[in-house]
Each structure stands twice: as structure tokens, then as C-alpha cells.
Amino acid sequence: MLDVTGPLVSAETVAANLEAIQTTDTEYRLLEVNVQQGTYESSHIPGAVSLDWQRDLRDTRTFDILSPAALSSLLGDCGVTRETTIILYGDFFNWFAAHAYWLLRYYRHENVLLLDGGRKYWLENEFPTTDAVPAVPNCEYHTPDPDESIRARRGEVEAAVESGGCLLDARAPPEYRGEILAPPGWNEGVQRGGHIPGAVNKPCRDTIQSDRRFRSREDLATLFENYSTDEQLIVYCRVGERSALVWMALAEILGYENVAYYYGSFVEWGNTVGLPVESATSADLR
């Protein structure tokens, strides 16, 4: 087993153990999670299997997360068993890989790690890559009932708004303020700008360094020092991927006990008739 403590594994550790990790047995499985077409095909870590966030990690008809049956089929096709240590990484600051990490935790997979820094850090440091697609075995994977404590649904978010509960918005400040609907170049997906009433802006970029690795545990503790480790926190963004980084920082790295991820995020909230939104002034960015 890898000598790793916590949810993150360094690129250096993966590279040093790559001979064992990239084998086609089921002890380890590297999964590259991307949103841009052709990324995996151009190059990837040897032994990595490709997952497309839009096609593979959500129900394309309902836009909800995968059902237990769908996840069982997907992971079985990837050569994963319940005992496999899954190492996730991807493009865009590990946004979508972090979402996959949350999804696996939601469905109670125990052995899962996020490659700190993601695809970009691996490439920039010239660790080994290939364009060869591995032939992994087909396995049986049985997904258990989910851990609902780490998922917030719309009704729970509405209740938090009513009670003054703590909501953390992981989007960029211009999105939070309602000046733009999505990051430049992305399909907006929402019809109204602003944020869920009472939410505090905690951009996901604040949790990571310029090289895309997470900030130190001490820096993250300072970033979230205004929040008690046992209070109920709900994190969200636009479509759910960026808030996964904030969820990881709080729940997995810092050990906060009651952090829930609002999968529907602002695409659901901002497009629902009758739900309120707020815009922000600079005084609201606290």
C-alpha cells in the first residue's frame, strides 16, 4: 500500500510507485477525470483510465448524480472493486476529479485519493506520460446505499436560508456578486445572477496554490477559522464541481464533521421559479 495519510497523494509519490500503480490488477486504479475532449487521448499517466465528467459521472437525462446501478457498472468497467485504491486526477484545477472524489465518498468507497495538483502539475513537472490505453479487467462492483449526510438537497438549502444556516459559495467573486453568470468561455446554465441569500463567498481558488496543489493544512485552517469544526456547513458553486474542492478542504483535510455538498448548486437554485437570489456589494465578501 502507498504510505499516504489523508485524502491527498503527491505526484512525487505516485511517480515513485508508478510501476506498481499502473498494473492491470485491482489493487490500484488511476482515473483521469476531464471535461475537455481529447485531453486524455493526447497524453495521460501510464495506466490511467479515462472518465468524462459530463458523459460518465452524471445522469445525462436527469442531470442528477449516477444511480448506484450506473456507478457499479462504470467502476466495474474501469477494473475497480470495493477494495481498489482509486487515485483520481484531472484538468481544470482538479475540479471534476474532486467531484468524482465526493461521489465515491457519497457511495462509501473507502480507498480513494486525489492526486494533489492534478494533471497540470504532473505535466509541468515532466512526470511520465503515455497515449496508450490500458486494458483493464472487467470487475464486479456493488455500490452500497449512499451517505446522505454529505449531500444537501434543495429543501435543506431552503431550510438553511430560513434559519440563517451557513452557506459557502465557491464561485469566483464576480459570479457571487451577480456581475457574470459563469466563468468566461463557459456555458452559463443559469438565468439569474447573484447568490443564495445569506451565502458567504469562499472561492475554491483560495484553497489551492498557484501550482494547483492544495494549500497547507495550516493555511486552510486559517482560511476557515471563522467556522466551528462541528457546525453544519453547506457548500455550492454553479454546477457542483468547484465546491467539491471546498468540501474536500473542510471535510477531508481539516476534518470538519458536518459539511454537505449541494449538488444542484446555483444551476438548480438560480433556475427555480420562486427561489430568491441576492446580489452582493464588496461588503458582503467576508
pLDDT tens-digit profile of 63-97? Answer: 899 999 999 999 999 999 999 999 999 998 999 99
- The mean pLDDT of 212-241, rounded to a whole number, is 96
**Position 29 in a domain:** yes
Full strand arrangement of the beta sheet holding 233-236:
151-152, 259-262, 233-236, 166-169, 200-201
What integer pLDDT is reported at residue 280 of this predicted model? 67
Could you list the beta-strand ranges (E) of the chain: 8-9, 28-34, 49-52, 85-90, 112-115, 151-152, 166-169, 200-201, 233-236, 259-262
Split into its structural domains, the chain has a count of: 2
Residues marked active site are found at 237
Give the range of the structural domain holding residue 119, as residue numbers without chain letter. Answer: 8-124
Domain shared by 229 and 177, yes or no: yes
* Residue 280 DSSP SS3: coil
Task: Name the domain boundary from 92, 108, 124.
Answer: 124
The average pLDDT across 268-272 equals 94
What pLDDT score was predicted for residue 283? 37
What pLDDT shows up at residue 4? 87
CATH label of the domain that carries residue 259: 3.40.250.10
